[in-house]
Chain A
Amino acid sequence: MLDDFLIRAMLAGLGVAVAAAPLGCFVVWRRMAYFGDATAHAAILGVALSLALSTSVFAGALAVALAMALTVSTLSGRGYAMDTLLGVLAHSALAFGLVAVSFLQGIRLDLDAYLFGDILAVSRTDLAVIWVGVALILALTIWRWSPLLTATLNPDLAYASGIDPKREQLVLTLGLAIVVAVAIKVVGALLIVALLIIPAASARPLARTPESMAVAAAVIGAVSSLAGLRLSFLFDTPSGPTIVCVSAVIFTSTNLVARVLRATA
C-alpha cells in the first residue's frame, strides 16, 4: 500500500495536519504567528547546512529551528519589540539559508522543494520520520495540555497553581520546532505557518472549548490536506500551495457562516 506515492503523500499530509492542529491553536491564542514564521524560515538554513554536511535534512532543520526558537524566547523582552526582533531574525535566517544553499553544487533545483514542499516525493523513510514526529508532538501536547493552557491564560495564575510558565513555553517551542522539521517536506518552509494558523482560525467559530477547537482544527487540517492533494492531482497544481488554498477557503466559509448565524440569531 505504501508503494503508491499518492498514499504516502496522503498519510504525510494527514500526519502534519493532526500535529499542527493543537500547536496551531496555541500559536493563535498566544499570538505567536510571527514566532512560527521565524522558526520555519530558520529551517531553510538548517536544510542548507545538512545538505552541505550530508546529514539528514530533518535533523538539520530541527536543530536550527530549535536554536532559532530558543534564541527568540531568550531575546524577547530585552530591548526591541517582539515583532521587530522576529522580523530581523526570521528574514535574516531565510536570507542566510538561501545564500548558503547557493554555495552548494547541484542543489539549486531542490530549493523549491524546501521552500514550497514536495509532498509527492515523500519516501517511506520520510513518512516514518514524519509520523514519529507527529506521535512525539501529540504525546507532548496531551501531556502538557492543562498546564500549557493555564500558562497561556496568565503566567501568574500558572505560578499560583505551581506551574512554571517558562517551562511550558519551552515545551511549546520544542513542539513547534518538531512540527516545522516534519512539515518542511510537506508544505515547505514558506507555508508551514499557514498550516498551523489557518485550520485553528477556521475552527474558532465552531468551538466552545479549547479542546473542541483543537479537534476541529485537526479535522479541518486533514480535510484540507486530502482535498488539496486531490485537487492538485486533478489540476496539476503544486500540492503544498493547493492544500493551503483549500484551508483558506474553509477559513472564509466557517467565519462567514458564523457571522451570518450571529447576525440572524
Chain B
Amino acid sequence: MSLIEMQNVDVRLGGHQALSHVDLAINKGEIVTIVGPNGSGKTTLLRTLIGALKPSRGTVKRSKGVRIGYVPQSLSIDATLPLTVRRFLCLPHRHSTQAMDDALHHAGANGLQDRQMTDLSGGQFQRVLLARALLKKPDLLVLDEPTTGLDQPGSAALYRQIEQVRQDLGSAILMVSHELHVVMSASDRVICLNGHVCCHGAPETVASAPEYRALFGTGTQGALALYRHDHDHHHHSHAEESHEHGACNHA
C-alpha cells in the first residue's frame, strides 16, 4: 500500500485548470522528485497532497495514520513577530526538549535553539523548517524547492542532509527541485509535470523521454536547458529537439 495516492486528480485555481488527470503514488522510503517549468503546477500538486487545496475531481487517498511533514517553498516571518527557534518548533504542538534537539540534529541545525527565527541565515532557516517537519516523525516528507535562495554549496549540503534524513529516519521524500544534478543522482523516481504528468519513471528513463526533452532539451543531460526554461513557460523556443515538444503542451 502506498503512503499517499492521487487518482485522476484535477485542480482548478480561480477558474484556471492548474492540474488535470494526475495519478501519483508515493511508496515507503523512496525519494521522488517533481520537475517542470514555472507555472506547471508543481506547488499546486504539493498543496493538494497536504490538504491545502481540494481537487475538483478525483481522489487523494492517504494510508491510515500516515504522517506528513511539510516544508513550504518560502516562509516570510514578519519582523514584528518575536519567535525563537524553539518556540517555532513547538507550533502548533509542544515537544520535549529532547525531541527538538534530535530534530535539529537530524536537520543539521544544532545549537540554534535559542536564536530568533528572523536572525537565521537562509541555509539555517531551511534547516529549521526541515527540523520542524521532522518533529512529526513523518512517513513522508514533502519539500517545495527546499533550496530556494541558497547558493550552490548551501543547496548541495541541504540535499545531502535530506538524503541523510531518509537513511536515519526512513521517511519517503517528495520534493520539487530545479536542480537537475540532484534529480538525476539522488532520486529513485522523477515526475515531469506540465499541468499533467508528462512522463515519469527512473531518472535515466525520464531523461531520455521525448516529452522531457521537449521541456528541458538534451544538452548536458538537460541541466542547462532546465535553467533556461525557468524563464520561459512556453517551452517551444530553446528545446533542441523542438519537433518533439508537442507531446507536452497543455491540453
Seen from chain A, the residues whose Cβ lies within 8 Å of a Cβ on chain B are 28-31, 146-147, 149-150, 152-163, 200-201, 204, 207-210, 212-213
Q: Is B249 an interface residue (CB 8 A)?
A: no
Query: How many B residues are at the interface, by size bracket?
Result: 20 to 34
Min Cβ gap B62→A in Å is 12
CB pair B84 A157 closer than 8 Å? no
Which residue of A152, A160, A161, A163 is within 8 Å of B81 (Cβ)? Answer: A152
Q: Which residues, 138 to 171 on B, are CB-close (under 8 Å) to A?
A: 142
CB pair A208 B75 closer than 8 Å? no
Q: Which residue of B lies closest to A78 (CB)?
A: B14
20 example contacts (A-B, Cβ-Cβ < 8 A) are as follows A28-B78, A29-B81, A147-B92, A153-B77, A154-B72, A154-B75, A155-B52, A157-B75, A158-B92, A159-B47, A159-B50, A159-B52, A160-B69, A161-B91, A162-B51, A208-B82, A208-B84, A209-B83, A209-B87, A213-B82
Which residue of A146, A209, A213 is within 8 Å of B93 (Cβ)? Answer: A146
Which residue of B47, B83, B92 is within 8 Å of A146 (Cβ)? Answer: B92
CB pair B82 A150 closer than 8 Å? no
Given A28-B78, A29-B81, A150-B91, 5 extra CB contacts under 8 A: A150-B92, A155-B52, A157-B70, A161-B92, A210-B83
CB pair A153 B82 closer than 8 Å? no
Chain B interface helix/strand/loop/mixed: loop
Q: Which residue of B lies closest to A208 (CB)?
A: B82
Q: List residues of chain B with CB within 8 A of the CB of A212.
A: 82
Seen from chain B, the residues whose Cβ lies within 8 Å of a Cβ on chain A are 47, 50-52, 68-70, 72, 75, 77-78, 80-84, 87-88, 91-93, 116, 142
CB pair B78 A159 closer than 8 Å? no
Chain A interface helix/strand/loop/mixed: helix
Q: List residues of chain A with CB within 8 A of the CB of B68.
A: 160
CB pair B82 A157 closer than 8 Å? no
Q: Which residue of B lies closest to A77 (CB)?
A: B14
CB pair A146 B91 closer than 8 Å? yes
Q: List residues of chain A with CB within 8 A of the CB of B84.
A: 208-209
CB pair B70 A210 closer than 8 Å? no
Min Cβ gap B3→A in Å is 15
Q: Which residue of B lies closest to A148 (CB)?
A: B92
Which residue of A149, A150, A159, A201 is within 8 Å of B80 (Cβ)? Answer: A201
Q: Which residue of B lies closest to A212 (CB)?
A: B82
Q: List residues of chain B with CB within 8 A of the CB of A31.
A: 78
Q: List residues of chain A with CB within 8 A of the CB of B50.
A: 156, 159-160
Q: List residues of chain B with CB within 8 A of the CB of A213.
A: 82
Q: List residues of chain B with CB within 8 A of the CB of A201.
A: 80
CB pair B81 A210 closer than 8 Å? yes
CB pair A149 B47 closer than 8 Å? no
CB pair B70 A156 closer than 8 Å? yes
CB pair B116 A208 closer than 8 Å? yes
Q: List residues of chain B with CB within 8 A of the CB of A153.
A: 75, 77, 81, 88, 91
Q: List residues of chain B with CB within 8 A of the CB of A200.
A: 80
Q: List residues of chain A with CB within 8 A of the CB of B69.
A: 160
Q: List residues of chain B with CB within 8 A of the CB of A156.
A: 47, 50, 52, 70, 72
Q: List residues of chain A with CB within 8 A of the CB of B93.
A: 146, 161
Q: Which residue of A lies closest to B76 (CB)?
A: A154
Expressed in whole angstroms, the Cα–Cα distance for A152 and B83 within the complex equals: 12
Expressed in whole angstroms, the Cα–Cα distance for A154 and B68 within the complex equals: 16
Which residue of B47, B70, B82 is within 8 Å of A204 (Cβ)? Answer: B82
Min Cβ gap A113→B in Å is 33
Min Cβ gap A199→B in Å is 13
Min Cβ gap A224→B in Å is 19
Q: List residues of chain B with CB within 8 A of the CB of A159.
A: 47, 50-52
